[in-house]
Every structure is written in structure tokens, then in C-alpha cells.
Amino acid sequence: MVISIRPWIEIGTSEKQEASVDSVWRQPATEGVVLSADPYAVMGPTDGGKGASARSGGGEEISPERQAARAKSDYHLPVLMDEVLTALRPGSEKWIFDGTLGGGGHSEALLRAGASVIACDQDLEAIVYASARLAVFGERFSAVHANFGSIDRILSESGVGAVDGILLDLGVSSRHLDAAERGFSFQKDGPLDMRMNFTEGRSAADLVNEEDEAELARIFWEFGEERASRKIARAIVTAREKQPFTRTLELAGLIASVLPRGGAKHPATRVFQALRIAVNEELVRLNEALAKSIDCLKPGGALAVITFHSLEDRIVKQFMRRHSEKTIDRPEWPAPKPNPEYFFDLPGRKPIAPSVEEQKANPRARSAKLRVAVRV
Ligand SMILES: C[S@@+](CC[C@H](N)C(=O)[O-])C[C@H]1O[C@@H](n2cnc3c(N)ncnc32)[C@H](O)[C@@H]1O
């Protein structure tokens, strides 16, 4: 197996720095995040699938099937697995790029179906965990610590070149939400961090403590569609004059104190989503990867993107539409013209949603949507 765990500290157009696996594991981690040579040490406790049935923290009954799936990967339960396999049609001789390795569930299924997989994740913890898990696949699997926005560079520098399929399963993993020390959860106390790539960049605390009121309101509105964006931004700026924010529950508590409680969602849901998107430049990176996918796919290769909220789904939908029209028309033209940006065919116009069974078994799958485009 080629575990080329290369932390590209400057991701994007700037210079990369490489390090050996050993030096990666010895890198000083962010406060509270412990990397270990034993990848399973990053996981929470598991019952190993021993019990006949169990209850989740919320009191909900967990079926033996779900327990087994959890025991297999406490890190993350992959969504829309069958649908992803149908879209990417893995097989021997095929190369698939998995831009969001996470716990390696999708990659594992692609490898089991015979494909070779080159994967990346911007979270070093995911790279370490999944690389160990998928080591059994030998040279058919390799993983790079990088942002999928650099897909072109990852594929050219690895020597793989254009691929037969690209998978982007966007957003955070269950591990991110479950691990308080990563700072993504408004229900668990932890450092206000939210960086998927904890080796660089500004944390959520940096944004909350340093951006001006207008910028905070913009972030909350644009990335969280939070109607009370200005009210919350004002409250943050007033509160941070006394004491800067450092913990997730401090921020969640402030938001709860200025918003009336009501509805099923925690009042901090939208602001936390907005901060996460801003901290990780999620929409910028998605746009980058989509644009580059055109040159990174072989003819007949499939692009499969799983989204979890309307902002990212809109970007994927518009990208696929724009590049799947064979002709374009303008009222001032005498006739339609061929679209010079026609690069994809769409097997279906509507996004694919998880089955009712999957939604029941995995509540985090409920908002998932899969869109597929095939390179012409
Ligand atoms: C939903 S999880 C993927 C789960 C994975 N498909 C599995 O089967 O376990 C998303 C993963 O993508 C990573 N990620 C999100 N945005 C990324 C980006 N722009 N570049 C690289 N990795 C990214 C996150 O760190 C996280 O580990």
C-alpha cells in the first residue's frame, strides 16, 4: 500500500510541504486533539457489536444491524452506499478518486468491488484512521492529506492522471460531531475550533473574536440563512468586549439567550453551520473541485456528489445543469447554438435521496442528496 500521507500545509495554489508518516504522527496537534500511531485510539468506546440490542444516548432503540454497522465503523456510517456504487460502477481496471475519505466506508466498498482508489481528506485524523483500516488493499489504495480543491494536483502528482469516477461526500463526519474536542458541536463543551484541517487556518473562535459585526452578520446570513443574523452578531460583539469566546457552549449559550427557544432545532444550529462553512471555506473548495472535475474525469467517468444542505446542493445542481445543456439559447439569437461548456450527461435530473429504511437506520442520512453526472 502506498500511504502517501503528505500534509500539504498550504493547500490550493501555494507551495506544498511534505513530511514522512512518522513526522506527521509526531506533529504537534491542536489542543485536545490526540493523534496516535494506533488509529483506533482516536475512536470512542464501542460495544463491539456484542449486545443483542441497545439504546442510544437519546433513548432510541438501536437494532442489531445498526449496532453491527456501528461496530464496524464508529468513525462514520457511510450514506447512500448502494446508490454511490451504482453511480460509480467500480470494477477492476478502474481508478476512483474519493475526495472525502472520512472513515473510509465508501472507499472500502469501492475497493471491495475491485476498483483502485486514490483518496484525500483534509483531516489528518481521518487519513490516519482510514489508511490503517484500508491497508489490506495494498497498492490499490493510497491516501493523501490534502483538500479536494487540489484534485488536479493530487491526481497528476500521484501519476494516476484522469480517473473513472470522482466521489465527494461533503461536510463533516460523525466523528467530527461526536468528538467534543474538535469544536463542531453546540451540545458538547469543547474548544471553539471547527477546522477540519487542524494543522492550519483560522478557527471559529478566531472568526468570532476578530471579525467585525457586519462580517459576522453576513456569515450567519449567507452560510446559515439565519434570520436573526444581525441580532446575534451584535450580541457577540458586545459579549466579546468583556471576554473573548473560547468554548463551544459559551457561544451556543449566548445565541440561546438572545433567540426565543421554539421548534425542534437548537437555536445555535444555523450559526454553527455558518461558522463551519466559513472556517473551512467549504463552498469555495466545492466550486474549485467541481470546475477541475471536468479535466480530471475520463470520457464515461462519473462525478457523484452527496450534499447535506441547500447551499451546497444548489452549487452542485447549477454546475451540473450548466454543463449538461447541449445547446444554449438567447432571445437575441436567431437560433440556439452548441454549448461550448457541454461536458456532462445527467442520468437523472432529480437528486437521489436515501431510502426510508436508511433514514430510519441512520438519522444523519435524512438530509443527504446524491447528484450524478457522466463525462461525455
Ligand atoms: C461526510 S464525511 C465522508 C465520509 C466517508 N465517505 C466515509 O465513508 O466514511 C466528509 C469527510 O470529508 C472531509 N472533507 C470535507 N471537506 C473536504 C475538503 N474540501 N477536502 C478534503 N476533505 C474534506 C472531512 O474532513 C470528512 O472527513
Pair (345, 273) in one structural domain: no
Ligand 1 atom with least separation from CA of 148: 20
For the Cβ of 67 lying below 6 angstroms from any atom of ligand 1, the answer is no
**Joined grid coordinates for residue 302:** 462519473
138 plus 256 within the same structural domain: no
Judgement on whether residues 163 and 305 belong to the same structural domain of the protein: yes
Query: What is the predicted pLDDT for the residue at 362?
Result: 94
Task: Work out the average pLDDT over 3-9.
Answer: 40
CATH of residue 323? 3.40.50.150
95 and 214 part of one domain: no
Pick the atom of ligand 1 nearest to 286's CA: 19
pLDDT in tens, 139-155: 999 999 999 999 999 99
Same domain, 275 and 352: no
Rounded to the nearest 10 degrees, what angle do helices 151-158 and 282-296 cross at?
50
Using the mean position of ligand 1's atoms as its centre, give its distance from the Cα of residue 349 in Å.
Answer: 25
Which of 263, 279, 295 terminates a domain? The answer is 279
**Under a CB-based contact definition with an 8 Å cutoff, are residues 63 and 83 in contact?**
no
SS3 306: strand
Identify the domain containing residue 204 by its residue range.
198-279
The whole-angstrom separation of Cα 132 and Cα 202 is 29
> Which is more confident, 66 or 50?
66
- Grid cell for residue 146: 490534502
Q: Using alpha carbons only, what angle is made at residue 290 by residues 287 and 291, rounded to the nearest 5 degrees?
A: 85
Report which residue type is found at 167.
L
In a domain, 2, yes or no: no
Could you tell me the pTM of the whole model? 0.83
Residues 225, 340 within the same domain: no
pLDDT at 222 > cutoff 70: yes
- Atom from ligand 1 closest to the CA of residue 306: 1
> Residue 52: inside a domain, yes or no?
yes
**Do 57 and 206 fall into the same domain?**
no
> Does one domain contain both 140 and 123?
yes
Residues 348 and 245 in one domain: no
Say what the pLDDT of residue 194 is.
98
DSSP state of 29: P
Task: Please compute, for residue 23, the number of CA atoms within 13 A of its CA located in the half-sphere on the CB side.
Answer: 7
Question: Where does a domain end: 253, 279, 305?
Answer: 279
Q: Note whether 241 and 293 are same-domain residues.
A: no
Nearest CA to ligand 1 atom 9: 103
Check pocket membership of 147 for ligand 1, CB cut-off 6 A. Answer: yes
For 342-362, what is each residue's pLDDT tens digit?
Answer: 999 999 989 999 999 999 999
Total count of domains within the chain: 2
CATH code at 212? 1.10.150.170
- Shortest-distance Cα residue to atom 8 of ligand 1: 105
Residue 51 clears pLDDT 80, i.e. is over it: no
Asked if residue 293 belongs to a domain, the reply is: yes
Q: Answer yes or no: do 275 and 298 share one domain.
A: no
Is 266 inside a domain boundary? Answer: yes
Per-residue pLDDT, 354: 97
Mean pLDDT for the chain overall: 84
Same domain, 208 and 345: no
List the residue whose alpha carbon is closest to atom 12 of ligand 1.
Answer: 100
